[in-house]
């Protein structure tokens, strides 16, 4: 079976946009309605010839028979159990909140590589604001812009080192 890379994080941080960027799919998956996400959640992806399965944990449909569904806490626990590498996405513009801290607490205990992606860093002028994310205790944050693609190659280089 392919190794699993799970994307975890609270709503609206840009998980689906990042999945879209990594999987390079052109269907419109960043589309949510009435609290029930319509995102596709599983994609086959590859980076530099390394194949993996990419899971958007926030895109699991409520009511679907899937272990990644539920609260973001449940999703983080499931990612910690099943994934080979976890990408924890936070909003690099808004900063961290209590939900991010809760997810970080779970992921720090996971015996899996966790890469902290500070998304929405659309221009390098924001990169001096990254200090805030060190308090999540997950090492260096990776500044990315899922929308524009900045930093996503460096993040993926790091991901595949762990696969
Ligand atoms: P999700 O709920 O975590 O899956 O987040 P989405 O991928 O649906 O994105 C939430 C919102 O953030 C959407 O309006 C996106 O267009 C926006 N967004 C995602 N990535 C970026 C980014 O890199 N920069 C900016 N400026 N906005 C982004
Ligand atoms: Mg989403």
Q: What is the pLDDT of residues 28-41, one digit of tens each?
A: 444 444 444 444 68
The answer to whether the CB of 14 is under 6 A from ligand 1 is yes
What are the structural domains, with CATH classification, of the chain? 4-161 (3.40.50.300)
Q: Does the model's ipTM exceed the 0.95 cut?
A: yes
Pairing mode of beta strands 32-33, 36-37: antiparallel
For residue 8, the CA-to-ligand 2 centroid distance in Å is 10
Report pTM: 0.91
Give the position, in ligand 1's atom list, of the atom nearest the Cα of 9: 3
- Give me the sign of the Cα torsion angle 60, 50, 22, 122: positive
| pLDDT in the model for residue 132 | 95
Q: What is the pLDDT of residues 103-151, one digit of tens each?
A: 999 999 999 999 999 999 998 777 777 999 999 999 999 999 999 999 9
């Amino acid at each position: 079976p392919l190794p699993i890379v799970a994307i975890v994080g609270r709503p609206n941080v840009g998980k689906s946009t990042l999945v879209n960027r990594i999987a390079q799919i052109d269907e419109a998956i960043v589309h949510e309605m009435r609290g029930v996400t319509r995102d596709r959640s599983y994609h086959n992806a590859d980076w530099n010839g390394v194949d993996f399965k990419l899971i958007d944990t926030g895109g699991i449909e409520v009511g679907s028979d899937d272990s990644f569904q539920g609260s973001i806490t449940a999703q983080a626990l499931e990612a910690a159990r099943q994934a080979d590498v976890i990408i924890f996405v936070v909003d690099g513009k808004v900063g961290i909140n209590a939900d991010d801290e809760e997810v970080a607490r779970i992921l720090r205990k996971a015996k899996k590589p966790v890469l902290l992606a500070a998304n929405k860093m659309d221009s390098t002028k924001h990169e001096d604001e990254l200090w805030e994310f060190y308090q999540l205790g997950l090492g260096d944050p990776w500044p990315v812009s899922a929308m524009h693609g900045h930093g996503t190659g460096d993040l993926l280089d790091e991901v595949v080192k762990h696969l």
